[in-house]
Amino acid sequence: MFQENGDRAVTLFCVSLGCSVSHNFLTQSYVSQEWKDQYIHGYVTLVGAWSGGARTLEVLLHGLTPLFPVDWMESLYWILPRAESWDTKTIVSTPSYSYTTRDYEKLFSDANQPDSFTKLKQALSAIENPEKSYIAPNVPTYCIYVVSAEQDTPVGLKYSKDFDATSNVFEMDHEVIRGPGDGVVPELDSEVCLKWRIEMDQHFESLVCGGSHTTIGDSDKLYALIDRVVTGPRPANKNHGLSLSNSLDSLAKVLSRKDIIKDEVVPKKEETKEKILEKELKEFITKILMETE
């Protein structure tokens, strides 16, 4: 793509699980900093599933239906809640035990799914240091995500009965504990990227949009940012010279969730070539987002 683009660096764009995969590519030993400086113009992450979510747990433990388990989909193990963000938070509870990200071996054993722990280890083997898997990518980064005011995002599972040797977990009644997020990715997972602002000397921006995990593609502000990133120059390091105080103020606003953006209605204009391209990009992203739902 570099040669096809006239020896111009490219913008790497990712959505949901793709952000975790592309981040692993950028931060492990696959490429050097010199390689990134030459070939990466910008890194645009959209609703990144950085450190996993409880929705993945529910799918792994219960399948899409009792007749269609999906534990064979190894990509799902990439987006189980990880200790770096979830730490000691309870992800699954029964009357006698509260499971955290430190208890996957016990959880899958108690749930009569020991193979799932083996698959989890295999999936994470691609990451050199899973405990420090979300270090800064050290390329110009634009982290775009949603934090809805609705408490509609799975953050844990609660069972009214303990697991035992005869349990068929696929058929066990359970309650989904919900909290803030985009409907799929929890808030604490979406905001993993925010620490990169002060962990790297490359440009960093974050944009909090309205909508949900699958409807963020309707945001005009999103496409304005993508257009600016793709067509503009590669930004200088240190956030375009923004002062540390301004960077911290911006970070504080995002963390307090006071700057959640409600998209405005934009008057319809005559479709230019750029508008047609933007429309096609919007349809493409919407299709990807619907496939992740």
Residues in the chain: 293
For residue 268, tell me if it sits in a domain: yes
**pLDDT above 60 for 15:** yes
Instruction: Average the pLDDT over 73-98 and give the result.
Output: 87
Total domains, the chain: 1
Instruction: Average the pLDDT over 179-207 and give the result.
Output: 92
CB 147 within 8 A of CB 187: yes
Nearest by Cα to 53 from 195, 213, 171:
213
Confidence category of residue 116, pLDDT binned at 50, 70, 90: confident
For residue 5, tell me if it sits in a domain: no
Beta-strand runs (E) in the chain: 10-15, 40-46, 92-94, 97-99, 141-146, 153-159, 174-179, 204-209
Range of the domain at 286: 10-292
pLDDT given at position 239: 47
**pLDDT above 90 for 266:** no
**pLDDT above 90 for 217:** no
For residue 19, tell me if it sits in a domain: yes
For residue 32, tell me if it sits in a domain: yes
- Vertex 224, ends 19 and 7: CA angle to 5°? 65
For residue 94, tell me if it sits in a domain: yes
**pLDDT above 90 for 277:** no
For residue 54, tell me if it sits in a domain: yes
